[in-house]
Structure 1
Amino acid sequence: MLNTGLNVDATEFQLTLAHINIAAKRYGHANNPIILALHGWLDNADSFAPLAHEFQQLGLFNSHQLICIDWPGHGLSEHRPGRYPLHWVDYIYDLQAVIQAISTDNQPIILIGHSLGGIIASAYNACMPEHVAKLILIEALAPLFESAEHAKSRLRNGLVQQARFNRQLARPTPTYSSMDVAIQARHQLTGLALPWCELITRRNMQLIDDKCAWRSDPRLKLDSLNRFTFEQVDALMTRSNTATLFIGAIDGYKQLTLTEQHANTWFTDIKMVTLAGDHHLHMGNARQVAESIGAFILN
């Protein structure tokens, strides 16, 4: 049974976009300036519930509202049609459509992105900065990159993996005897604390014949067919004038150290903060993360 101590009201709603339906949650008053939160890979909107709780405790909802979406294929949002492989760049199009749907009079909004959500937010800000009032990146700074020499093997491996996946679709959907079994499975796979595994897992699951099954699009676990080179990322990211806050975790993803050295090249106005916690520090250390964000937003 979930026992996180969270106590914050949220309104569930749907965004009917031209190409897909997106599930979302709103915290705070709908007339306030928007903070849009973008979750990470295989997470969902509820990964921001601890942060929303702390925002409320800090009084941030007196001046702002927080909207958290489920990316396509995550949480309660629709899956992309067809069986084609997914690519992170497609989420930038989703983000543009979401901002157009929620923004009043085309006013810039504040973006918060965690992990994959931060990658998407940083890339969107790089090319469409006029729509971003402030940028907050949690355990992410820029798109992932790799050497061009991996292009052929990545594409081949992705196609082989996709063919194997298509054969697996003919099999019955895997199920769990109870929600607790699924929660434990995510905990063992990721090491994320059990209360947070439960919070995320419940929104990503569905009932099939009285058994639990993942609602998430299984294609999310397939490798990308393509990844940018550093030269492409560097050209994209150079140079943003958007006021930016980067929040990293002491025990977070070590790969971030490869990109942090470029922060002052890619952003003219960036504040770098490192806090206690792991990759999901916005859940496990939500108070300090909320305080850092609050000070940045209200400054």
Structure 2
Amino acid sequence: MLPISIRTKFHTIEGIEWGNPQGVPILCFHGWLDNANSFAPLAKYFPNYRFLSFDFPGHGKSSHKPENSIYYFAEYALEIVSIAQTLGLEDFILMAHSMGAAISTLVAGTNLLKIQNLVLIEALGPLTNVSESAPDIMAEAIKHVLHPRGKKETYFPNMESAVAIRLRAGDMEKDSASLLMERGIEKTPRGLKPRRDLRLHFNSFFRYTEEQVVSFCERINCPTLLILGDKSNFPIANAYPNRKSAVKNLTEITLSGGHHLHMDHPEKVAHVILQFLNDNDTKENS
């Protein structure tokens, strides 16, 4: 395991690298308020690959946006493309969880990158709204930014209390929450503080419509694996039929586990991913 730091056009991006430096790259992105440690449990199952996991801006150890600015969901697509291009990745595997998977769906649909295989865990595109709700969504976001609803920085007396709060926020096992907190917490004179930028809690200014997301799905050309947890707090197994049918080469697999099943049960998730990659390698070489 090695730390890796790169500079894109707008941010300093921090991450972790495992595996074979000469292997096929796997570029990994985490979910909202998580960090690069999200993929640490999976990494050991991919020793022959160059396994890379990065913190999104405002998360983990990556840089925050400048003062008096805010985060836009679509900008994360820019960061994924920037990171891949900065690393000079060609014909690589894109793997992502939750928010990272939602963004990676859009990135794959732009065809700006040469993605060999796409692995999505617990998301296929972002949340959407009907067109008529756009004015209300923007109004709420503006009010939220101008008058934050009492969101203040949190300080913890010890790591145990930080882990306990993280467990309340999402369905995952204690070891998984502890791993996220290892990278997601920093020491300050006032106590342990989350590294994430508070502005990540602001409401979105807009959301795509379902038709727009389907149009991205239609343009995904690479083999795609969608992994879902049967006990997830975000049940999408029976959702988004139009998105699923729009992806030309989609494999969907549901495993036992919650939203963070890739951390809680990495061995069985890795087995499914490796089988998917091997099957597609066989097809390409036949």
Aligned partner letter, 1:212: L
Match of 2:34 in 1: 43
Residue 111 of structure 1 pairs with residue 97 of structure 2: no
Residue 164 of structure 1 pairs with residue 147 of structure 2: yes
Distance in 2 (alpha carbons) for counterparts of 1:70 and 1:211: 23
Give SS of 1:216's match. Answer: coil
Please list the CA deviations of residues 17-55 of structure 1 after superposition, one character each: whole Å capped at 9, or x if unmatched.
Answer: 2211000100112221100011001110101111113x1
Match of 1:198 in 2: 178
The 1:295–1:129 alpha-carbon spacing in structure 2 relative to 1, beyond 3 Å, is farther
CA shift, 1:103, in A, is 2.5
Match of 1:257 in 2: 238
Question: Is contact 1:241–1:268 with CA below 8 Å preserved after alignment?
Answer: yes
- 2:168 pairs with one of 181, 185, 188: 188
Residue 23 of structure 1 pairs with residue 9 of structure 2: no
The 1:94–1:210 alpha-carbon spacing in structure 2 relative to 1, beyond 3 Å, is same
Give the alignment of 1:30-69 within 5 angstroms.
Answer: 30-53=21-44, 55=45, 60-62=46-48, 64-69=49-54
Question: Is contact 1:29–1:61 with CA below 8 Å preserved after alignment?
Answer: yes
Question: Is contact 2:119–2:224 with CA below 8 Å preserved after alignment?
Answer: yes
Question: Is contact 1:85–1:224 with CA below 8 Å preserved after alignment?
Answer: no
Aligned partner letter, 2:272: S
Aligned partner letter, 1:87: Y
Q: TM-score, normalised by structure 2?
A: 0.92
Residue 235 of structure 1 pairs with residue 226 of structure 2: no
Match of 2:64 in 1: 79
Distance in 2 (alpha carbons) for counterparts of 1:52 and 1:235: 32
CA shift, 1:108, in A, is 1.8
Match of 2:283 in 1: none
CA shift, 1:236, in A, is 2.5
CA shift, 1:168, in A, is 6.0
Aligned residue pairs total: 278
Give SS of 2:106's match. Answer: helix
Q: TM-score, normalised by structure 1?
A: 0.88
CA shift, 1:241, in A, is 2.3
CA shift, 1:264, in A, is 4.4
Q: Percent identity?
A: 28
Give SS of 2:256's match. Answer: strand
Distance in 1 (alpha carbons) for counterparts of 2:168 and 2:126: 27
Residue 98 of structure 1 pairs with residue 83 of structure 2: yes
Question: Is contact 2:18–2:47 with CA below 8 Å preserved after alignment?
Answer: yes
Residue 121 of structure 1 pairs with residue 107 of structure 2: no
Distance in 1 (alpha carbons) for counterparts of 2:99 and 2:199: 15
CA shift, 1:14, in A, is 0.4
Please list the CA deviations of residues 115-166 of structure 1 after superposition, one character each: whole Å capped at 9, or x if unmatched.
Answer: 011011110000126521110010011222111121111111111111123x
Match of 1:7 in 2: none
Question: Is contact 2:36–2:53 with CA below 8 Å preserved after alignment?
Answer: yes
Distance in 2 (alpha carbons) for counterparts of 1:128 and 1:239: 7
Question: Is contact 1:129–1:242 with CA below 8 Å preserved after alignment?
Answer: no
CA shift, 1:88, in A, is 1.2
Distance in 1 (alpha carbons) for counterparts of 2:13 and 2:47: 23
Give SS of 1:61's match. Answer: coil
Distance in 2 (alpha carbons) for counterparts of 1:210 and 1:155: 36
Aligned partner letter, 1:192: M
Aligned partner letter, 2:95: I
Give SS of 1:76's match. Answer: coil
Question: Is contact 2:81–2:113 with CA below 8 Å preserved after alignment?
Answer: no
The 1:142–1:76 alpha-carbon spacing in structure 2 relative to 1, beyond 3 Å, is same
CA shift, 1:255, in A, is 4.2
